[in-house]
A and B are shown apart, each in its own frame.
Chain A
Amino acid sequence: MVKHLKSKLILLLVMMCFGTVTVFAQTGEVTGTVTDASDGTTLPGATIVVKGTVRGTVTDIDGKYSISVEPNTTLVFSFIGYEPQEVFVQPGTTVNIALLMQSTSLDEFVVIGYGVQKKKDATGSVAVVSTDDFNKGAITSPAGLITGKVAGVQVTSNSGAPGESSTIRIRGGSSLSASNDPLVVIDGVITSGEGGSGSRSALNALNPNDIETFTILKDASATAIYGSRASNGVILITTKKGASGDAMKLEYQGKFSFYEKPDPLDVLGSDEYVSVFKERHPDFDHMLGVWYDAEGHQVAANNRTETSTREIYNTDWQDEIYQSAFMMDHDLSILGDLEGLPYRVSLGYTDQDGTLKTSEFKRTTVAVSLNPTLFDDHLKLNVNLNGTFIKNRFANRSAIGAALQMDPTKPVTSNDGSFGGYYTWLGNSGGVNSMATSNPVALLEQNNDNSDANRFFGNFQADYKFHFLPDLHANINLAMDHSNNSGTRTVPNYAAWSYNEAQGGGMDNRYTGDNTNDLLDFYLNYKKDVESIESVFDVMAGYSWQHFAFNNTWDNNNIPIYLTPEGDSTGQSLIHNDGINSGEYYLVSFFGRFNYSFKDRYLFTATVRQDGTSRFSPDNRWGLFPAVALGWKINEEAFLQDSRTISQLKLRLGWGQTGQQNILDNYYEYQGRYSYGNQYSRYPFGSYYNYVIRPEGYNPNLKWETTTTTNIGLDYGFFNDRLYGSIEYYFRETTDLLSYVPVRQGTNLTNEIFQNIGELTNTGVEFSVNGRIISNEDMFWELGVNVTYNKNEVTMLYQDASIYTGGISGGVGNNIQVHEVGQPASSFYVYEQVYDEDGSPIQGLYVDRNDDGQINSDDKYVYENPNAPFYFGITNTFNYKDWSLFFAGRANFGNYVYNNAQSENATYDRLYRDEGPYAANILSSATMINFYTPQYMSDYFVQEASFFRMDDISLSYTFPNVIKDKLNIRLQATCNNAFVITDYEGLDPEVPNGIDNNLYPRSRVWVFGVNLQF
């Protein structure tokens, strides 16, 4: 491979030297035959292109070709499934080419922490997804590119909101209260998993079109080089770059997406509502519709008189808040080699409207990368600069719940223009009924919530190959990732939902957030091939320093009431709350890796990293994270070397430890400290209101959480890698879990605190298979399937205490989940519902599980959990001539969801509420469940949510050589989120954290794309 590159480089240099001469030379024909190198058969339909242009030809039925070229031309020979070959030719010659069959991705180099490695020499569990394999269509978040692609990796979009980020879980979560997000490293820059107010993850600031590869490190032998932050896996991202010798290439990609209006939840329609309401609450029939006095002004139902008249409306509130929406996405990139300076510059623009009215996302990205090589190839420089500028308008998501609950007999607008023209429930006193459902349309339209998020990240990397010792490299990487956000949220003072007679209404809130992440790392790498003993040594040692800081400010005000609806806010605001929140932490690390390969068959890797964090006390802050791995390339053994069936067979054994210190914003948790109370927490002595100071709880003994992973993997490839994949088994045990749990009372200054408490395990099996089923001149069909089984279990908690979690909507402080020993983390913790003979749940009747004759909190039990034990992904590519059909789908089996929308909104007592009083709508399923009052803690609402989702179906057609061999056009039509197959009763079975409530719905998207290459 290295030799190959060298010859290419020489070729390029020669080309450059003679480039000026060619102008005067004559053109002529080059002819020849293209064959398969393995058996000599001819290859009809192989393409031959003049390098750097789109001019070319294809071989005929006998594999022969003829092309007219200028002197000193490089031709690129390619055929699907074969390695392309470049040949330097002169007119009038015959050039016969034997193409080698591609041995898939296994021959590629993969990036690993602080270096690269041949994939076939990798001993860890490493998966690569690159451009060609990415998901297609309306993808604004980079994680969406790899959804369902890799065994053991789950990507869930957090909702259907524009610009929404995704949750990524690699082999289940290894932590309880600490972060479960994988570490993301972009071009060698370790990003912070945290964002400030209005900010998104580092991953989301990247334009998906700038990404070249995702490399996912799953087991500890691969991740341990990242030590304390690697327990949840590592995602390495490389961005697209120019290569030396590239001709200038301009590419435009445009995507135009149509988001269908989301499906509504099934609530009672106006007529049905009226009849159910009258049946259930005959005494309160007058709450329906709107009462008007003789002058036509709205009056509260309880204030109606003889002369009042009533009108009953028919409003579909969900229909009012959702819309179909458009998105457009333009990307322009230019790459090439400017006199030895390979470059790539790209510009991206995304403009997306949300399907929930008033949400909007606009993103502009700029990316520049330069990769010159100096001093005779001894010094390689990499400069990456990325800028992202996001403008968000956030919709008021409380409209989603309000649209379920708002009485359908009420109109959207009022007839007298009060409250900005929106219908509003009136209370007995004639003013706003603050307990009643707010008008969902007003919640959206009167809310102006905007943010600007700007992010700049970039790095400078230099790799120097010592002149006196070319086997030794020094690599230095300087990086920064700075973001600043600012936002405003304004609500007019006449908006009924923010109305406050005493203080005025409205909102005038401002906030800013600054996050910085600065990184320096340096390493030395020595690689030596000692042929005499058939050994290759590769040793690396390095040092890293990283600093993270954030600073958030806020300034919240309201608008005094005495202003007119049209007036500006000029008076003194009555509610005022401002403040600053900031923090920082450092990580300092030393790391090293030793790779040894014997006879190119037996591989050994050992890594170690020592990390120090400022989050822990000097006694506990250093953690050592070792890993070892063995690889055996069985196919290189004598007995398999000549096998025509088995082309790859590698056994991998790995063991390693990684750590966790990311307890979110708690940067000073080990130190004793005092915090000041704000203006609302003053206490009067006499008439003087003292500000207060409070000693904070702290834990001087806080230390690293440690995850120990054992991994056994087998990579296989058959029939010259026409069929390939891997199977893996892993066991991960996390000890000293960083958990936010009750502290023994009386020994600290609060009742719950971060402690190293408990253990949990993840056990799993992953299997992936990719097959190139058909590969011939006209047709190409590849299918990939991956399957994962993961079992998560909490094996120890401090003194076996359970930890309650999973807050729900309805009541205050109701939790539906628990971390309990012997159960998966975040299991549902509920009462066991009793059913009648017909199988209908009986309200309030639960099984007395502890047989004490009473039903109280001690009778709850663990019932299922939100994580799917089995999940799989499927990717299919089918090409026929210039047509390409792609689809990708995904399934989860055995995952459960707590249907909070139903537990809250499917009870008859919601119909009439006497606090207020007001009337509200209910889900149609209420008539089936037949609960009068909410039964939040019943296991009835824990519902199976297995599903299959077709993420993309995409059809594309390529017009090659459209204008004088200068332009390629590809047209693409994609359907994202095409369909979901599930028995789950709620809106969407895929719910982050397993609590289904007010989820911004994901809708079906139709995407039309055009791709132009010059």
Chain B
Amino acid sequence: MKKITKFLILIAIIGFFNACVKDLDTVPTDPDVVTSGNAFDDPEAYTQFLAKCYLGLATGGNEGDGAGDIAGIDGGFSPYMRQYWYHQELTTDESIIAWEDQTIKDFHYQQWGTSDVFINAMYSRVIYQVSLVNEFLRQTEDDVLNERGVSSEWKTKITEYRLEARFLRAFSYWHGLDLFGGTIFVTENDPLGDPDFYPPRISAEEMFAFIESECIDVADKMMPARTNDYGRVDQVAAWTLLAKLYLNAEAYIGSPKYTECVTYSNKIIESSYALAPTWEQLFWANNDMDQSTMQEIIFPVRFDGMRTQTNGGTTFISNACIGGNMAAADYGFPGDNGGWGGTRVTPEFVAKFDENPSDARAVFFTDGQNLSIDDVNVFTDGYAYPKFVNYYIVDGEKINGSDGNFSDTDFPAFRLADVYLMYAEAVQRGGSGGTHDAIGLVNQLRSRAGVPDVSSLDLDFLLDERARELAWECHRRTDLIRFGKFSESDYVWQWKGNVKQGQSTDAKYNLFPIPASEINSNPTVPQNPGYINL
């Protein structure tokens, strides 16, 4: 009897310890967090995941800019399009900024280093998008879906989702190619969380080829022009990416592909996308509601003051250029956070409108602003350029966006006017097979802006026309590099090279450096020419 008691006690003790040890297997108790195992119990999660792949371009994280996707940078500074804007615009004649945030002025001075926090954030954003898409593709492979018993109806939807996700990955890899000359390369077939995996940095040629083949492949299968939900990409977006890739092929990989650019520009021009009746409405708060605007926008990055809230995107672009005698409320920001007094344009950019000061695209604010920038820190040195606004006008009535602080205005990442100009340039550069009148396309844009037609085209004119038409839409740095006018001395503007009158800079700045932290954690990654690893 005693033995049995002892035995039972022993069993009880073992059972007790065992139960307690089992306590160590916990799962999140937070209602907003689920384990990977049951995240896709409801197939709606696939849509939500795809939405995240798009959202990665818009907000800083999962709670507006809170709960950030990437770390190492302030949440409001971290959003993709804000960083992309810094890299593409602050580095050029189109913009200069007054602020004291870390190394932000190094962009305009063209003197950034390898440990620059913004460059690191941009690089991280590119790879973050790639990683998101890779994970989406892993979670939507056929056998995974079958295992989860996903219905055939959903499978059809998901097939379409996968194409869009792959486009988004190609889009970010293209940024990586353009800014860094190519990044590391990972796909859904690479492992996750493996400390022994060192993702390789492939050559620019290989990166170019990957983006090209992905776009060609998805474009064939994607939905035709303007048949998808607004904001989701269709095949025209993939064509546009291809056209942009080909137009810059000489800069990217040293071999011209202007004919290919013409081929795809042709297809886009022939699609059902069409120019908006006026230029300014493209940058209004209702550019995702007014069909006459939406018909020009091939790929928007979408923002909403109430629901897609960020201090990046158009909230940043709009507010950063409100200061001095401007009242934020006049631009659709009557809230308590309007008017950040930062960005202006250089006098060299203003000069592009000298021939036609009444150009509808010359939306400078000059009251109390000096044309010349004596002091970079002073907002009133340099004209403000409130092109993106958080209001719209219907029947002469001005209506503000939905929120006093955050912009409703979508950012047109790709729009048709850009394709017209690309087409004209590719033809000008010798691309063949064009079926459209390049001069006519350019003049359509000019007449929309209320300036006289031109009768002939040359490359320098096209570069300037791109500046007038597309300023602050994140094309400028790429354009200047394509024309050989970004670094060095061919073209200088105020404060390029950190002197007021502007000066030549080193050619190495045509590419940004691979961030020091990336090289530290992955020493297999080669640095770009001219940059020295710390």
A interface with B by C-beta (< 8 Å)? 302, 427-429, 431-432, 434-435, 497-503, 505, 543, 545, 547, 549, 551, 579-586, 588, 612-614, 618, 621, 667-668, 671-696, 698-701, 740, 742-752, 798-802, 804, 810-815, 850, 852, 854-859, 909, 913-917, 933-934, 936
Contacts and interface: CB of A to CB of B under 8 A. Distances in A.
B67 interface: yes
29 contacts: A428-B327, A434-B337, A502-B403, A581-B32, A586-B26, A668-B33, A671-B35, A673-B28, A678-B63, A680-B64, A681-B59, A682-B51, A694-B52, A695-B132, A745-B123, A745-B522, A746-B186, A746-B190, A749-B135, A752-B70, A801-B521, A813-B73, A815-B117, A852-B532, A854-B113, A856-B106, A856-B111, A909-B377, A936-B100
B64 A681 contact: yes
B154 interface: no
A859 B518 CA distance: 19
A914 B325 CA distance: 8
Interface centre among B104, B198, B522 (most CB of A within 10 A): B522
B55 interface: yes
B523 interface: yes
A686 B378 contact: no
Interface string B319-340: 0000111111110001111111
Contacts of B71: 740, 750-752
Interface residues of B, number: 122
Given A302-B325, A668-B33, A915-B379, A677 B63 contact: yes
Nearest to A520: B20
B36 A695 contact: yes
Interface stretch (B84-92, B228-236, B434-442, B488-496): B228-236
A802 B21 CA distance: 38
B521 A914 contact: no
Contacts of B309: 680-681
Contacts of A804: 72, 117
B336 A745 contact: no
A275 B112 CA distance: 39
Given A695-B36, A701-B195, 13 more contacts: A435-B341, A583-B30, A676-B34, A677-B67, A681-B64, A692-B48, A746-B186, A751-B72, A798-B521, A811-B104, A812-B102, A909-B378, A915-B342
A934 B377 CA distance: 10
A857 B113 contact: yes
Nearest to B131: A749
B36 A674 contact: yes
Q: Is the interface of A mostly helix, strand, loop or mixed?
A: loop
A692 B55 contact: yes
A747 B192 contact: yes
B26 A689 contact: no
B142 interface: no
Contact of B308 (A501, A583, A613, A680): A680
Interface of B: 17, 20-21, 23-36, 39, 45, 47-49, 51-52, 54-55, 58-59, 61-64, 67, 69-74, 76-77, 99-104, 106, 111-117, 123-124, 127-128, 130-132, 135, 183-186, 190-195, 197-199, 229-232, 288-289, 302, 304, 306-309, 323-330, 334-342, 377-380, 400, 403-405, 516-518, 520-523, 532, 534
A287 to B, nearest CB: 13
A584 B135 contact: no
B106 A667 contact: no
A583 B29 contact: yes
Contacts of A668: 26-28, 33
Contacts of B124: 745, 751
Given A431-B334, A916-B339, A856 B113 contact: yes
A539 B328 CA distance: 74
B487 to A, nearest CB: 13
A434 B32 contact: no
Contact of B403 (A503, A545, A614, A675): A503
Contacts of A915: 323-324, 339-342, 379
B112 A745 contact: no
B335 A751 contact: no
A676 B516 CA distance: 32
A750 B198 CA distance: 16
A801 B58 CA distance: 29
Nearest to B115: A857
B332 to A, nearest CB: 9
Contacts of B323: 914-917
A856 B505 CA distance: 14
A689 B334 contact: no
Nearest to A501: B334
A815 to B, nearest CB: 8
Contacts of A815: 102, 117
B308 A681 contact: yes
A681 B29 contact: no
Contacts of A856: 103, 106, 111-113, 116
Nearest to B324: A914
The 7 closest A-B pairs by CB, nearest first: A915-B341, A502-B404, A801-B520, A858-B113, A680-B64, A429-B327, A501-B334
A543 B39 contact: no
B107 to A, nearest CB: 11
Given A692-B52, A857-B113, A750 B230 contact: no
B100 A810 contact: yes
Contacts of A581: 30, 32
B62 A799 contact: no
B61 A749 contact: no
B101 to A, nearest CB: 4
Nearest to A757: B521
A916 to B, nearest CB: 7
B206 to A, nearest CB: 15
A700 B191 CA distance: 13
Nearest to B28: A668
Contacts of A551: 29
Contact of B330 (A429, A498, A618, A694): A429
A683 B54 contact: yes
A810 B518 CA distance: 27
B390 to A, nearest CB: 10
Nearest to A584: B29
B24 A588 contact: yes
Contact of A588 (B23, B231, B325): B23
A667 B32 CA distance: 14
A69 to B, nearest CB: 55
Contacts of A811: 99-102, 104
Nearest to A797: B520
B55 A857 contact: no
Nearest to A581: B30
A588 B64 contact: no
Contact of B335 (A502, A685, A798): A502
Contact of A693 (B35, B48, B337, B342): B48
Contacts of B103: 856-857
A748 B131 contact: yes
A613 B127 contact: no
A675 B534 contact: no
A435 B130 CA distance: 38
A684 B231 contact: yes
A917 B101 contact: no
A549 B115 contact: no
Nearest to A852: B532
A543 B520 contact: no
Contacts of B115: 802, 857-858
A677 B116 contact: no
Contacts of A859: 113
A543 B62 contact: no
Contacts of A698: 193
A907 to B, nearest CB: 10
A434 B104 CA distance: 24
B275 to A, nearest CB: 22
Contact of B58 (A302, A683, A693, A694): A683
Contact of A745 (B73, B127, B534): B127
Contacts of A742: 72, 517-518, 520-521
Contacts of B31: 580, 582
